[in-house]
């Protein structure tokens, strides 16, 4: 806590911001409960970049900040990192809610992430799990909040409100699934390790994606009903399906073929002044396409 006392029973989660994940990897945020001395340990993390968030009863959620004020850190394969300490401030309020499905049933075991919508908020995430009756409790900063729930077999759902006092209900729809295969256009050879997402993802819409297996096959889960056009990228290759696919509620598509063509690679270094920028991102725009 801010007073320096250990916070026992806090939930500390490693939030994946960029990870070396692949087919079959765990999409959940690994979490741990702090012990009597406030210490925690989260093991078996994939290599990647992580942000850390902590929440506890009667406290506002907190995020980790390094000495350089950056909010995430890189973790190499096999690396152990210590001293990732978080400070919780008092003044948290209780937010209660329920996760259900559109048929009227409840969704148990859903991960609920709640963030403050207030201007100037820290961006800390309060993480909770729905119980056997779909109910959840999160401790958040007072004011406007946004909550998103994810569960196996469902597309994500969200709701917003004001804490304390408001009961939030988040309704989930059964997931639709997009399956397909990525191959080289010239040879028909499968492309393993390609990152595949809906073409709309490149415009910032949606985050569902998958990595192709050794046979070039992919499976994108937790999609809502709608029309999707898968696009794939791999080192030196890029491709998009010829036609979009319409998915109904809870529907799995037939196999969609993505032909991948040679693509140019642009490399460089992103600097923050004269130092490398660890948390930046770079985008390339097509003037002919987006003008």
Structure confidence at residue 67 (pLDDT) = 79
pLDDT at residue 261 is higher than 70: yes
C-alpha to C-alpha distance for 94 and 165, rounded to whole angstroms: 8
> Cα dihedral angle (211, 213, 219, 222), rounded to 10 degrees?
-50
d(CA 236, CA 262): 6
Angle at 208 between CA 204 and CA 214, to 5 degrees: 125
Residue 222: CB atoms within 10 A of its CB come to 20
pTM, full prediction: 0.80
Which of the four pLDDT bands, split at 50, 70 and 90, describes residue 152?
A: very high
Give the pLDDT confidence score for residue 279 in this predicted structure: 62
Mean pLDDT (the chain) is 86
Can you say how many angstroms the Cα of residue 224 is from the centroid of all Cα atoms in its chain?
16
Residue 267's Cβ-side half-sphere holds a number of Cα atoms within 13 Å equal to: 3
Q: Is 101 helix (H, G, I), strand (E, B) or coil?
A: strand
Q: Identify the residue with better confidence: 54 or 286.
A: 54
The terminus-to-terminus CA distance of the chain in angstroms comes to: 51
Cα–Cα distance for residue pair 196/56, rounded to 1 Å: 37
Q: Which of 25-39, 109-123, 127-141, 193-207 has the highest mean pLDDT?
A: 127-141
Query: In the predicted model, is pLDDT for residue 200 greater than 60?
Result: no
pLDDT for the residue numbered 207: 55
> What is the pLDDT, as a whole number, of residue 202?
41
pLDDT, residue 23, reads 44
Looking at residue 21, what is its pLDDT? 47
Pairing, β 256-262 against β 176-184: parallel
Identify the band that residue 18 occupies on the pLDDT scale cut at 50, 70 and 90.
low
Predicted local distance difference test score (pLDDT) of residue 271: 83
| Average confidence (pLDDT) over 124-150 | 94
CA-atom Rg of the chain in angstroms: 21
Residue 273's pLDDT is 74
Question: Quick one: residue 250, left, alpha or beta (phi over 0 = left, psi -120 to 50 = alpha)?
Answer: left
């Amino acid at each position: 806590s801010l007073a320096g006392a250990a916070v026992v029973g806090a939930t500390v989660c490693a939030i994946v911001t960029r990870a070396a994940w692949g087919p079959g990897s765990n999409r959940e945020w690994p979490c741990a409960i702090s012990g009597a001395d406030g210490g925690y340990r989260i093991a078996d993390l994939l290599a990647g970049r992580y942000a850390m968030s902590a929440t506890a009863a009667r406290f506002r959620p907190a995020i980790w900040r390094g000495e350089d004020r950056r909010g995430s850190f890189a973790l190499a394969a096999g690396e152990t990192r210590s001293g990732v300490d978080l400070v919780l401030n008092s003044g948290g309020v209780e937010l209660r809610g329920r996760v259900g499905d559109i048929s009227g049933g409840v969704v148990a075991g859903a991960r609920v992430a709640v963030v403050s919508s207030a201007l100037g908020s820290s961006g800390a995430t309060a993480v909770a799990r729905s119980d056997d009756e779909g109910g959840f409790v999160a401790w958040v900063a007072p004011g406007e909040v946004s909550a998103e729930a994810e569960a196996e077999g469902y597309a994500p759902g969200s709701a917003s409100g004001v804490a304390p006092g408001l009961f939030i209900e988040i309704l989930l729809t059964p997931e639709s699934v997009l399956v397909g295969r990525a191959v080289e256009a010239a040879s028909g050879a499968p492309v393993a390790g390609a990152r595949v997402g809906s073409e709309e993802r490149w415009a910032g819409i949606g985050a569902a994606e998958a990595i192709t297996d050794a046979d070039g096959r992919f499976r994108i889960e937790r999609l809502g009903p709608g029309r999707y056009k898968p696009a794939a990228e791999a080192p030196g290759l890029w491709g998009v399906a010829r036609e979009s696919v319409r998915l109904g509620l809870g529907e799995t598509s037939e196999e969609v073929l993505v032909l991948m063509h040679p693509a140019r690679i642009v490399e460089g270094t992103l600097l923050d002044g004269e130092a490398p920028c660890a948390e930046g991102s770079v985008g390339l725009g097509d003037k002919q396409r987006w003008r």
